[in-house]
Amino acid sequence: AQCTDERVNRVTAELFKRYRTAKDFASADPATLEEEIKPTGFYRNKAKAVIGAAKMIVEEFGGQVPRTMEEMLRLPGVQRKTANVVLGTAYGLPTGIVVDTHVDRVSKRLGLVATSVKQAEKIERQLMDLFPQDHWITVGHAMVLHGRYVCTARKPNCAECVLSDLCPKLGVEPQRKPRRSTGRRAQ
């Protein structure tokens, strides 16, 4: 991820103290909001998207975050991943499966999706075809957490993985054993 969850959580905790409603975000001063979200990276684009989305939520959705994928995707800065997170987490609506870098990696290593598939929407569609809709939210969350803490990008912890016996480990480099020291140093 481009920004850690820890950093985002610190920043959003402060933001939500200052901006309590969509209307508050819609009327935010762009330069001030940029400064407040600067630690998350890409702060200019994010500030513009947040203010734009908040204005649309106020003007077109009566101040309420939309409850459909189609409406969510109309909001500035919102793509399927964000829409799936919001709809699944806030409303419990299984509209799709969240595909982030972790889900991408885990689904490919497990052989659920071909390693050649690059587009998140194609990965999402293939995963949706594999799992029943009432499991989509859980599958997304589980794969994100598994990719974050076990099936990491570098040095995946296969020895601790509950799926290790079933996993083809596609794209995983075998772990080399450390060289044993001979006690002599090169000169």
CA–CA distance, 64 with 67 (Å, rounded to integer) = 9
Closest CA to 78 of 102, 97, 50, 101: 50
DSSP 160: G
CA–CA distance, 168 with 164 (Å, rounded to integer) = 8
CA angle 86, 90, 95 (to 5 degrees): 55
81 part of the active site: yes
Relative orientation angle of helices 120-130 and 80-91, to the nearest 10 degrees: 40
Cα dihedral across residues 139, 140, 144, 147: positive or negative: positive
Choice among 24, 38, 46, 100 that is catalytic: 100
Catalytic residues: 81, 100
